[in-house]
Amino acid sequence: MNKILLFSLASYVIGSISGSLLLGKLWNIDIRNFGSKSTGGTNAFRTVGFIFALLTFIFDLSKGLIPTYLIGYYSHYNEIEMMVGSFAAIIGHVYPIFHRFNGGKGAATLLGALIILNPLSLAYILPTWIVILVFSGFVALSTILAALAFLIYSIIKLNINFQVFSFLIFLFITFTHRKNIQRMIQKSENRFTKIMIFRRK
């Protein structure tokens, strides 16, 4: 079997393991039955609480970090193979084969992959995410614009491999948040108002 295909399949399987559903067995809750029905960290926070969401985030981040690191190690840090593998892990998180293809939005798993792929990009991505969140209160908008920041950073600072990868990531993250975009347009999207700098009383 082709090495890159093997890496991708293994990464997809790892990405398909849902941290929130595993943790839900301990909490005796299935977060797919609540809130946005997503298994990601944001829905975990809204439906269960901070500790559950933090553990979910760490688990989801690891699903991007571990496969990307292992692929790098066994491929002598072949950039393209690492990117393909990390993308497969993200797809696994969003469309997990073990959970009827109903997963999260991919942001935490992407973050884990970027810790290995290009940690310097986080100096631009994370501040963008935080600033947009505290001004808007929308996690989805913050995530989409953080992905855009990664794309812009790649265009300015990185090579063609990262430029293609970041463009595909931006499209995919926007796609996974399409329902959030629709709700924002309809003014029905939930906000984290408590952390907003400017908010209506």
Give the model's confidence band at 199: pLDDT under 50 very low, under 70 low, under 90 confident, else very high.
Answer: low
Average the pLDDT over 30-45 and give the result.
Answer: 75
* Lookup result for tokens 């947009």: 132
pTM attached to this predicted model: 0.88
**What is the share, in percent, of the chain residues with pLDDT greater than 90?**
60
pLDDT over threshold 60, residue 82: yes
pLDDT over threshold 90, residue 190: no
Give CB contacts under 8 A, 24+ apart, made by 134-138: 134/195, 134/196, 134/197, 135/196, 135/197, 135/198, 136/191, 136/196, 137/191, 137/192, 137/193, 137/195, 137/196, 137/199, 138/180, 138/184, 138/189, 138/191
pLDDT over threshold 90, residue 197: no
pLDDT over threshold 60, residue 200: no
Residue pLDDT, tens place only, 121-171: 999 999 999 999 999 889 999 999 999 999 999 999 999 999 999 999 999
pLDDT over threshold 80, residue 196: no
| Poorest-pLDDT segment among 33-37, 80-84, 197-201 | 197-201
The rounded distance, in Å, linking the Cα atoms of 34 and 63 is 23
The rounded distance, in Å, linking the Cα atoms of 95 and 43 is 16
